Structure 1
Amino acid sequence: MEELQYNPILVTLVFSLISILSLNLIFHKSSTKRNPPPSPPKLPIIGNLHQLSSLPHRSLHSLAQKYGAVMLLHLGSVPVLVISSADAAREVMKTHDIAFASRPTFKASKKLLYNCKDVGSAPYGEYWRKIKSIFVLQLLSNKRVQSFRWIREEETALLVNKVRQASGAPVDLSAMFATFTNDGIARAAFGKKYSESENGNKFLRVMTDLMEFLGVINIGDFMPWLDWIGHLNGFYNRLDNTAKQMDHVLESLIQEHLDPNDQHSPDFVDILIQICHEDASIQRDCIKPLLLDVFVGGTDTISTALEWVMSELLQNPRVMEKLQFEVRGITKQDQEIRDGDIEKMHYLKAVIKEAMRCHPPFPLLGPRIAREDVRVKGYDVAAGTMVMINGWAIGRDPASWDEPDKFIPERFLNSSIDLRGQDFELIPFGAGRRGCPGITFSIVAIEIVIANLVHKFDWKLPNGEDLDMNEIPGMAAHRVVPLLALASPISE
């Protein structure tokens, strides 16, 4: 028999092949041990994008009812974990808060928010901790919020007078709430109303465009190979124009505060300018996104919440009468409503909580991103996965709420559940490190307006018509049509 010849090249190839097969077997075996969240079937290239409607919180809710409260979608090339229950939200925002403490970056937020240098979209880290501390201490601390009480009271009185001057004609509450919120926040942060000047009106118009861009799904963020579409359809051109206009307005605002001839009481802008002078790490382009945070995080939250509270009161006369009985019993007709009065209005607080449960101003909380591999409710979530928490779905989860589709404020009268991020059944402001820092600022404004409107007026819908309770597409869930109502002043 002829002897086999030793061939070192052949031996090396065989050894390499065996090694590769062994490694593949090992990795395949380990990967099969992973337990990914359930996913709906996806299409090539676009993944599950075709399953999102113009109201994604509703379509995600429908998918979650079939695939579970922890569900993995693929939006183009981006894996997205969708959370639709209080227990799962608790794991993301409390148990694994640090693992999910960062934000994904999108082209619109990078362009409009100065490369994500604002509190809402900045990546988790030292810079974010510093600017959040500045934002909270200088504008949103309890002490600061209390110091703005006189502004809230003056703006509320103006709102009440506008309603009274309607003389029986329907009033556009949606427009009035927007003006109240914009003027109140502008006075607190910028030292003056912005609706009273041309520059201010320009700012508000540009802010409307900014909010629209931040709420739009840009196909290039999820399918980079289709990024050219944004150039072809003019999306990026419009985005650039809005960013330039916004920067011009903010620069003008800062220059006004730097003018030694401009006499005004120190405000948030002055504080930021002073910090910029004292801290080399805080540049001019850090001041501007913080000013945007004031409006992005405040105006839509408050005005949208006011719209939905009054919508539900008009839709539910029994609740309206019960709230009026409480408010008018605590504060007599010839008295002004004080903070101490509102603290006694337990049904008012229950009404606001119930409206926030049914209609969170931002149905999908700010997206997060997994900074590391982590397990949520027993499922493996890979680092880099985007996380979307469906606050709207959580508020309507029958596992947490009896008769979730009904407006029943009484459910909160003997309940310790609050909306400040400790009870995950009710998280309209989010929770954890990335929860909204303006909760107190928003709640006190909502309370004083609603208390005054039900205290001083009887309300009904024009011609007894039914309300359209649908939301408009966008980041904030405004009503699809403005809220019109008839107000009758009660006798002095």
Structure 2
Amino acid sequence: MDMSSRNSVWYYWVSGALGFVIVLIMGIEKWRSKRLPPGPFALPLLGHLHLLEPNVHECLSKISQRYGPLMTLKFGMKTTIVVSSSAMAKEILKDNDQTFANRSVPVIARRITYDALDILWSPNGPRWRLLRKICVKELFSTKSTEALQPLRREEVRRTIGNIYKDSVKGIGIDVGAKAFTTSLNLITNMMWSISNETDERGVEFKDLIREIVYILGVPNASDLFPFLERLDVQGLYKRMQKVFGRFDKLFDRIIQDRVSGKSKGQDFLQSLLDLVERGVDEHDPDSVQLTMKDVKILLLDMVSGSTDTTSNIVEWAMAELLQQPEIMKRAQKELEQVVGLDNIVEESHLSQLPYLDIKVKEVLRLHPALPLLAPHRPEKDCEIGGYLIPKDTQVLINVWSIQRNPQVWKDPSVFDPERFADSKWDYNGRDFDYFPFGSGRRSCAGISMANIMVNYALASLLHSFDWSLPVGEKLNMAEKYGIVLRKAVPLVALPKPRLLQPNLYD
């Protein structure tokens, strides 16, 4: 056989093998696509982007009514599985918790969190477990919660005093903004023993947190079409880069002040610095060395993660009560009986206010802080509900939709705290008809602290003032989707003092 014949045979063999491989891959992909959960027809390249509406959580809930509680959508080039039932959520967050313990991380989130090294976005593993353990032990434990009670008392009373001064002048209160400032002052005081209400650092923190929340809520073409990431066509990465730089410098100054002795305090920052100095625990096989970068990551997590969510819950609660004044009156009556109009609410009163508690639970049912939770990502192919969920697929759990299931909740769109009276539901995430803070190992670590902050702030607002809308104003209950679910139109309300002694506001 001459050389040309041999080359020809070799060519046909290679071509045939290559063709077989291509056909095999196409067959596998076709087989896999048949096993994916159902979904609507996808347009080339765009996928299902044309179906989305501004309130994504509500839009996905409507689509799921046709395609089922587990459906496949293509957002650009990103395959996404949307979960809209408690049964499917349970399979993912309980039965396959380990498999779905990682996150699908947005491009922008990687920038602001030191390449996704924070508690929310970092991969499941020893380092993530260390960060969560630190937060639970040093900040959210029963001992820490009790020790920080005086700080919460001081900040809430300061807010009530400021509202009283405005009420005398007839000034309307931006409830969300006021709650945001209170939360920020409280968190920063807990973090590094400084309240930031009036100084330049406090103003900068407010601006930066609002900027972070806004940028994270903007749909990013780089997430939908990965080949666009380097181009940053919307300028979001560059914008977040500036925010990151400012935050990083702020935390560097705060840490330097503490290390140099310029500031002092037995607070979360000091606990973190002590852990950095202590090093690796030789008796713990999972022990990881904490670094100064980790210190900044944890400070950022606590400041950005607590302020906006807490203030939004308080704002939604006040809006729902203004919409149903009879429920507000009942909550105030309970406060009068427990606290009295000659006294100010203390945290010790909260356990005696069951109606206030179920009211907050109902707010979180209707308006969960993260309506789609944080996106999960399976570490391997997994079968859920008889369908294939491929490795590294983005998984969104529509807790907003699940908590409005008419088969579970009577009149699900109606604000009715009574549905929680003598009920089994709480915030532990073990019942998948109601889990506003998530479930499983990646659920919110600060549930107990958030519950105290929201209930205490709300009880103080309701007990200290009667609230009404400005003359001629109508209550707008429209939602605005983002990384945090907020009111589309901020709530501005007029306070009228209720306490018998004005000096109680001092």
The question of a shared fold, defined as TM-score above 0.5 by the shorter chain, is answered with: yes
CA contact (8 A) 2:215 2:236 kept: no
CA contact (8 A) 1:300 1:361 kept: no
Q: Which residue of 1 aligns with 2:103?
A: 103
From 444, 452, 461, the equivalent of 2:460 is 452
- For 1:16-415, list aligned pairs within 5 A: 20=20, 24=24, 31=31, 35-165=35-165, 166-167=167-168, 168-230=170-232, 232-262=233-263, 264-279=264-279, 281-415=289-423
Which whole-Å CA distance do the structure 2 matches of 1:311 and 1:97 have between them?
36
Which whole-Å CA distance do the structure 1 matches of 2:17 and 2:303 have between them?
61
CA contact (8 A) 2:153 2:346 kept: no
Change (3 A) 1:238 1:17: closer
Q: Which residue of 1 aligns with 2:284?
A: none
SS of residue in 2 equivalent to 1:487: strand
Change (3 A) 1:209 1:41: same
Change (3 A) 1:149 1:67: same
Change (3 A) 1:135 1:21: closer
SS of residue in 2 equivalent to 1:123: coil
Supply the AA of the counterpart residue of 2:64. A
Supply the AA of the counterpart residue of 1:89. A
Q: 1:450 Cα shift?
A: 1.4
Supply the AA of the counterpart residue of 2:104. P
SS of residue in 2 equivalent to 1:122: coil
Change (3 A) 1:98 1:9: same
Identity %: 31
Supply the AA of the counterpart residue of 1:356. L
Supply the AA of the counterpart residue of 2:295. I
Change (3 A) 1:119 1:18: closer
Q: 1:15 Cα shift?
A: 13
Supply the AA of the counterpart residue of 2:257. E
Task: Please give the per-residue CA displacement for 1:49-82, whole angstroms capped at 9, x wherever unaligned.
Answer: 2322232112111211221111111112221111
Which whole-Å CA distance do the structure 2 matches of 1:227 and 1:32 have between them?
27
Q: Which moved more, 1:107-116 or 1:234-243?
A: 234-243
Which whole-Å CA distance do the structure 2 matches of 1:56 and 1:443 have between them?
27
Q: 1:235 Cα shift?
A: 2.8
CA contact (8 A) 1:39 1:71 kept: yes
Q: 1:24 Cα shift?
A: 4.1
Which whole-Å CA distance do the structure 2 matches of 1:255 and 1:14 have between them?
64
Task: Please give the per-residue CA displacement for 1:392-427, whole angstroms capped at 9, x wherever unaligned.
Answer: 111211122111010110000021111231222222
Q: Which moved more, 1:218-227 or 1:96-105?
A: 218-227
SS of residue in 2 equivalent to 1:100: coil
Q: 1:289 Cα shift?
A: 1.1
Q: 1:202 Cα shift?
A: 1.7
Change (3 A) 1:161 1:130: same
Q: TM-score, normalised by structure 1?
A: 0.92
Which whole-Å CA distance do the structure 2 matches of 1:234 and 1:17 have between them?
45
Change (3 A) 1:33 1:361: closer
Give 5+ residue unaligned stretches, structure 1.
Answer: 1-7
Change (3 A) 1:24 1:463: same
CA contact (8 A) 2:108 2:236 kept: no
Which whole-Å CA distance do the structure 2 matches of 1:17 and 1:245 have between them?
56
SS of residue in 1 equivalent to 2:102: coil
Give the root-mean-square deviation of aligned CA atoms.
2.6
Which whole-Å CA distance do the structure 1 matches of 2:61 and 2:101 have between them?
24
Which whole-Å CA distance do the structure 2 matches of 1:18 and 1:491 have between them?
82
CA contact (8 A) 2:220 2:234 kept: no
Which whole-Å CA distance do the structure 2 matches of 1:363 and 1:29 have between them?
32
CA contact (8 A) 2:105 2:375 kept: no
Q: 1:127 Cα shift?
A: 0.9
Q: 1:44 Cα shift?
A: 0.7
The count of aligned residue pairs is 483
Q: 1:200 Cα shift?
A: 2.7
Q: 1:153 Cα shift?
A: 1.3
Q: 1:13 Cα shift?
A: 5.2
Q: Which moved more, 1:307-316 or 1:463-472?
A: 463-472
Which whole-Å CA distance do the structure 2 matches of 1:22 and 1:465 have between them?
65
Q: TM-score, normalised by structure 2?
A: 0.89
Q: Which residue of 2 aligns with 1:5?
A: none
CA contact (8 A) 1:369 1:387 kept: yes
Give 5+ residue unaligned stretches, structure 2.
Answer: 1-7, 281-288, 501-506
Task: Please give the per-residue CA displacement for 1:169-213, whole angstroms capped at 9, x wherever unaligned.
Answer: 322212211111111111111211123321232232122222222
Which whole-Å CA distance do the structure 2 matches of 1:201 and 1:17 have between them?
65
Supply the AA of the counterpart residue of 2:185. D
Which whole-Å CA distance do the structure 1 matches of 2:392 and 2:328 have between them?
47
Supply the AA of the counterpart residue of 2:272. L
